[in-house]
Amino acid sequence: MRRTDTENSNSRTQRLVTRGGLLLGAVVVLGGLAGLVERARANSDGAFGAVGLTPAEARSTLDSLESLSGALAVSDLELTRARAIIEYSAIYQIPSDLSAAIYDIALSEGINPAIGFRLVQIESSFKAKARSSVGAIGYTQLMPATARFYMPEITEKMLYDRDINLRIGFRFLRQLMARFDGNLHYALLAYNRGPVTVREILSEGGNPANGYAQKVMGK
């Protein structure tokens, strides 16, 4: 990663840590206020007066707190996402926009992002223009025939599009997992060797392992 990229990542990380501290402080304050209002709501009307709130004011305050709590939950998810994107970008030495695309698309397709990143690393070394000797294309090394199963109108040129390639590749893996009853090991082998080949080997009592699944799974 270039020095400027590293500096930008460090700056973003510092901002996120600062934001995380502010969020934590807000949660503590809001938690205390929410507890106060909940106690007031649970008690008689006299209890509202004891804390300086009418019943209507207490309900209004609690509604506002609940709304803020939801906003904080969203912010926490955004912080988690940003931190993960930066970390993956640093680990694999890839641009943050590519890291974000892999992370977001993997999640949207039901794939663990950690698996998504390792699959792309092994398949294409994060090279958008990668093409194998047998014609597999792009980040996830899709064969055009496989891609057309998910997008009949797709062309080879379209397979070089980052988001299209990632989405189809991760969707293919997810459906392989469903086909192999959630077994990620077999699904990855089917991704690499083809589902028919893996099924045939298993039906004959053999072991289709070739080391690919272990590499992707980090084992």
**Cα angle value 124/147/115 (rounded, 5°):** 45
153 is catalytic: no
**Residue 27, pLDDT score:** 45
pTM of the model: 0.70
Q: Which residues is 137 bridged to in the sheet? A: 131, 142
pLDDT value for 65: 65
Weakly modelled stretches of the chain, pLDDT under 70: 1-59, 61-63, 65-66, 69-70, 74
What pLDDT score was predicted for residue 117? 98
Say which of 7, 66, 78, 123 is annotated catalytic: 123
- Give the Cα-Cα-Cα angle 145, 158, 102 (nearest 5 degrees): 95
What's the rounded Cα separation, in Å, for the pair 116 and 114? Answer: 5
How high is the pLDDT of residue 62? 64
For residue 201, the tally of other CB atoms under 10 A from its CB is: 15
Contact (CB, 8 A) for 166 and 159: no
The number of angstroms, rounded, from the C-alpha of 98 to the middle of its chain's C-alpha atoms is 13
Helix residue ranges per DSSP H, 125-193: 144-150, 162-179, 184-193
Local structure of 131: helix, strand or coil: strand
